[in-house]
Amino acid sequence: MLYLAIKAALSGILIAIISEVAKRYPGFGGLIASLPLVSVLGMVWLWRDKPDTANMASHAEATFWFVLPSLPMFLLIPAMLRHGFGFWLSLAAGCVLTIALYSLMIWAGPRIGLRL
């Protein structure tokens, strides 16, 4: 249980740092947020729990393919905000778009030979 609490605390601290930096420097906060820090932490935790090279390779590859459907959200949200839509509506639309694109990736990926 302590191990789980440490993992959660470190991950939470990372998110808090990003949001604090973004308050003063939005671009730099975006840069930090775009780094695959959460993915790297996830891989470290996974490797510590289950040091299996085949499993890690599959995890890293699936992560790559699942990043792609999340990217359009980061174009839709600012476009909506700049056109006068509210933050919460823009965020919700971005999340709905991402869920739809994830669903498409889960459906189409195996059909085109991706192991997700």
State whether 9 and 46 are in the same domain.
yes
How many separate domains does the chain show?
Answer: 2
pLDDT at 108: 96
Query: Which of the pair, 105 or 34, is modelled with greater confidence?
Result: 105
The mean pLDDT value for 72-78 works out to 98
State whether 108 and 78 are in the same domain.
yes
State whether 29 and 61 are in the same domain.
no
State whether 78 and 115 are in the same domain.
yes
State whether 69 and 38 are in the same domain.
no
* Rounded percentage of the chain residues whose pLDDT exceeds 70: 100
- 1-5, 55-59, 82-86, 105-109: the lowest-pLDDT one: 1-5
**Model pLDDT for residues 46-69, shown as the tens digit of each residue:** 999 999 999 999 999 999 999 999
State whether 62 and 106 are in the same domain.
yes
Residue 25 pLDDT greater than 90, yes or no = yes
State whether 75 and 107 are in the same domain.
yes
| Spatial separation of the C-alpha atoms in residues 77 and 70, rounded to whole Å | 12
State whether 60 and 9 are in the same domain.
no
- Domain span at residue 63 reads 53-116
State whether 59 and 76 are in the same domain.
yes
pLDDT at 93: 98
Which letter does DSSP use for residue 69 in this model?
Answer: G
State whether 41 and 1 are in the same domain.
yes
* DSSP E strand boundaries for 19-89: none
Query: Which of the pair, 24 or 116, is modelled with greater confidence?
Result: 24
Burial class (CB in 10 A: 0-12, 13-18, 19+), 49: exposed
The Cα angle at residue 70 between residues 16 and 106, in degrees rounded to 5: 125
Q: Please indicate, yes or no, whether the overall pTM of this predicted structure exceeds 0.85.
A: no
